[in-house]
Amino acid sequence: MKIWVLTLFPEMFQGPLSTSILKRAKEKGLFDYQLVNFRDFAKDRHRTVDDTPYGGGAGMVLKPEPVFAAVDSIMAQANSCPYRILTTPQGEPFNQRLAKELAAKEELLFICGHYEGYDERIRSLADREISIGDYVLTGGELATMVMIDAIVRLIPGALGDEQSAQNDSFSEGLLDYPQYTKPAVFRGLAVPEILLSGHHARIAAWRRRQALQRTAERRPDLLAKLDLTAEEREMLQQMGYPAPTCEE
């Protein structure tokens, strides 16, 4: 996968992209990235990228020309046609399903907004507008880093153990079950007996039950979206969490 990032602050990306899993994924050739500063595409002497809004009002707005010129340049260099994402609090919410969808793309281009906003015509460059949550960041850089992290770890081979991405919270629409490691008792807190039993089928059933319970307690909204089996509905009922249905 190739990831292009259009940003006014390429230096912000250095830490996250050159640490841990993302660093290893790049070294293994699973993905590559290129940071492009669209200030380099500003035509005037001062390399201006923003201007005051038509109609008045506070703050500055990103000008269309440098962003369009930078996107044209990337499209000319790209191998395929990159899937273009604009970061904005007005976009569709980012989630694990979207991360999976984007992880299957050959080339991605993130356009990071900044300042008070951008000229509306910049929106026409994007295939998708995405928000990472209902809060306002100073720019799209952190949102892009969050998305790159969530996407790259899903590329086959990025995580050491293939199972671990499949077992993630949200991968089946459920939160993760509790995990333990040694020692079996720590400060009086014991690991659940079942996990020490070596009985794989019972452990799997226990984990499923824990994941269901945790999701019911913390994120009932997620449960409502799931296709639960009759057995799982019964299980939730017994735990005191009647499973909601989409019709309700």
Is 47 in a helix, a strand, or coil? coil
Does 116 participate in catalysis according to the annotation? yes
How far apart CA 224 and CA 203 sit, in angstroms, is 25
Residue 87 binding ligand ADE, by CB under 6 A: yes
B/e letters for 60-98, b = 16+ CB within 10 Å, e = fewer, are bbbbbbbbbebbeebeeeeeeebbbbbbbbebeebeeeb
Report DSSP state, residue 159.
S
Does 231 participate in catalysis according to the annotation? no
From 82, 84, 141, 168, the catalytic residue: 168
Does 89 participate in catalysis according to the annotation? yes
Residue 132 binding ligand ADE, by CB under 6 A: yes
For Cα atoms 83, 152, 30, give the angle at the middle one, nearest 5 degrees.
95
Q: How far is CA 221 from CA 131, 169, 197, 225, 245, in A?
A: 19, 14, 33, 7, 10
Judged by CB under 6 A, the residue of 66, 82, 117, 140 near ligand ADE is 140
Task: Tell me the per-residue interface mask from 143 to 162 with ligand ADE, x by CB under 6 A, - otherwise.
Answer: x-------------------
Q: How far is CA 21 from CA 18, 152, 179, 184, in A?
A: 9, 8, 21, 29
From 116, 162, 217, 234, the catalytic residue: 116
Smallest distance from the beta carbon of 1 to ligand ADE, in angstroms?
Answer: 21
* Binding-residue total with ligand ADE (CB under 6 A): 12
Nearer to ligand ADE, 86 or 212 (CB): 86
Judged by CB under 6 A, the residue of 59, 133, 157, 220 near ligand ADE is 133
How far apart CA 182 and CA 186 sit, in angstroms, is 8
Token pair in block for residue 244? 């909601």
Does 93 participate in catalysis according to the annotation? no
Judged by CB under 6 A, the residue of 60, 137, 191, 224 near ligand ADE is 137
Smallest distance from the beta carbon of 148 to ligand ADE, in angstroms?
Answer: 13
Q: Which amino acid is at 55?
A: G
What kind and span of H or E run contains 2? strand 2-7
Residue 58 binding ligand ADE, by CB under 6 A: no
**Residue list 105-124, contact with ligand ADE (CB under 6 A):** 113
Nearer to ligand ADE, 57 or 133 (CB): 133
Residue 88 binding ligand ADE, by CB under 6 A: yes
Residues taking part in catalysis: 89, 116, 153, 168
Residues lying near ligand ADE in the complex (CB under 6 A) = 87-89, 113, 131-133, 135-137, 140, 143
